[in-house]
């Protein structure tokens, strides 16, 4: 895995920042107890991924979210459950986990390309895809690019259904320049990813007390070389798609499930009207949850997914007969 941190700062400033970052680094264990491999292309660089479960079964792709400290660990409850019955794949998306974290431009297009390439070159057959939070937008974008790679799409607490307006591209770029100022970038990220801060933010998104293992892994993955790069694109709004309902979600033709309840960071103002006007969409309310249903209510989340896949397979069989 590449851990080199690239940038446009002066050589002395970059070296000082990297030295500070190395002093903060902690050991990163595997997110799940499963074989881990590397997939790489010149454009995407190295993508680390886990896979387990019986070969020859209908593949399942699990995609973690985007925030200050995400990784495959967010999808662990689903990975652990489904590995017993089907082939499950879970990559660390670019900029996270054991994947390349170099200082480059991160964008919705990059993440959609990564998902499409991974499905094409690693999974190699149509998959059921489960995406969490903002990655729902990337998965929808990838599906529009390569619909033949998707059987179904399930979205856990997806972004894009809020009435709130995103900052303009110019504002987002200006915010990113501020976040990445020499002398500010690493220090600000260190403050955001203190263990107490991680616990605070997870408490906002969790009914009851978030488990220590979730906090511990978020802390470990956020204290790796290059960990700060993607979060600043996220915080400046540059990874969100403007008018995602019209530009992404409304164009999907495959069966789509949204699992949601309440969420500390997004709203679902536009969801009910969208589902009512698109027959291929359905929702499942898994409650009480505050944005991480696969951890807060794993049994109910799994039941909702199983019912979704069962009904879509039955419908497909009926149409094919």
Q: Would you list the DSSP string of 249-284?
A: GGG--S-EEEEES--SS---TTHHHHHHT-TTEEEE
State pLDDT tens for residues 84-115: 999 999 999 999 999 999 999 999 999 999 99
Average pLDDT of span 57-82: 97
- Given a cut of 80, whether residue 317 has pLDDT beyond it is no
Please classify residue 321 by burial: count the beta carbons closer than 10 Å to its beta carbon, then call 0-12 exposed, 13-18 middle and 19+ buried: exposed
Q: What mean pLDDT is reported for the chain?
A: 89
- Rounded to 5°, the CA angle 7-9-11 comes to 100
Q: Check residue 172 and give its pLDDT.
A: 65
For the chain, the domains span 11-320
Determine how many CB atoms are found less than 10 A away from the CB of residue 62: 27
H-helix segments, 193-243:
195-204, 212-221, 229-235
- Rounded to 5°, the CA angle 15-21-25 comes to 140
- Given a cut of 80, whether residue 18 has pLDDT beyond it is no
What are the structure tokens assigned to 33, written together?
């107890």
- Which helix (H) or strand (E) element contains residue 14? helix 11-24
Q: Check residue 3 and give its pLDDT.
A: 29
Phi, psi of 264 (to 5 degrees): -70, -20
Task: Give the 3-state secondary structure percentages of the chain, helix then strand then coil, rounded to 5.
Answer: 45, 15, 40
Average pLDDT of span 172-194: 72
Distance CA 231, CA 272 (A): 30
Distance CA 257, CA 308 (A): 7
Contact criterion met (CB below 8 Å) for 79 and 90: yes
- To which residue do tokens 């204290």 refer? 223
In the chain, what percentage of residues exceed pLDDT 90? Answer: 77
State pLDDT tens for residues 208-241: 999 999 999 999 999 999 999 999 999 899 999 9
- Given a cut of 70, whether residue 5 has pLDDT beyond it is no
Phi, psi of 39 (to 5 degrees): -115, 135
How far CA 314 is from CA of 155, 283, 301, in Å, comes to: 21, 18, 20
Q: Check residue 320 and give its pLDDT.
A: 66
Contact criterion met (CB below 8 Å) for 134 and 271: no
The closest alpha carbon to 252, from 175, 127, 154, belongs to 154
- Given a cut of 60, whether residue 16 has pLDDT beyond it is no
H-helix segments, 93-168:
108-118, 135-145
Q: Check residue 186 and give its pLDDT.
A: 80
The CATH code belonging to domain 11-320 is 3.40.50.1820
pTM tops 0.85, yes or no: yes
């Amino acid at each position: 895995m590449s851990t080199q941190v690239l940038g446009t700062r002066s050589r002395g400033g970059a070296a000082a920042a990297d030295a500070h970052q190395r002093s903060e680094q902690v050991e990163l264990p595997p997110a799940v107890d499963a074989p881990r491999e590397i997939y790489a292309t010149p454009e995407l660089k190295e993508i680390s991924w886990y896979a387990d479960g019986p070969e020859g079964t209908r593949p399942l792709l699990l995609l973690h979210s985007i925030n200050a400290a995400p990784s495959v660990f967010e999808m662990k409850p689903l990975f652990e459950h489904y590995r017993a019955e089907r082939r499950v794949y879970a990559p660390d998306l670019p900029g996270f986990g054991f994947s390349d974290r170099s200082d480059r431009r991160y964008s919705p297009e990059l993440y959609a390309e990564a998902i499409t390439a991974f499905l094409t070159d690693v999974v190699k057959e149509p998959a059921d895809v489960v995406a969490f939070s903002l990655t729902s937008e990337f998965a929808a974008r990838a599906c529009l690019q390569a619909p033949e790679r998707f059987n179904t799409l399930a979205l856990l607490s997806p972004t894009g259904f809020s009435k709130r307006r995103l900052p303009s591209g110019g504002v987002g770029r200006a915010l990113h320049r501020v976040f990445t100022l020499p002398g500010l970038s690493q220090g600000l990220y260190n403050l955001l990813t203190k263990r107490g801060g991680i616990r605070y933010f997870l408490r906002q998104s969790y009914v009851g007390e978030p488990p220590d293992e979730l906090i511990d892994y978020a802390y470990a993955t956020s204290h790796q070389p290059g960990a700060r790069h993607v979060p600043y694109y996220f915080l400046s709004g540059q990874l969100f798609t403007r008018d995602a309902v019209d530009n992404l979600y409304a164009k999907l033709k495959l069966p789509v499930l949204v699992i949601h309840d309440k969420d500390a960071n997004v709203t679902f103002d536009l969801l009910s009207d969208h589902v009512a006007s698109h027959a291929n969409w359905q929702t499942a309310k898994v409650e009480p949850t505050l944005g991480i249903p696969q951890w807060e209510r794993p049994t109910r989340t799994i039941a909702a997914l199983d019912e979704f896949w069962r009904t879509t397979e039955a419908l497909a069989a009926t149409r094919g007969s």
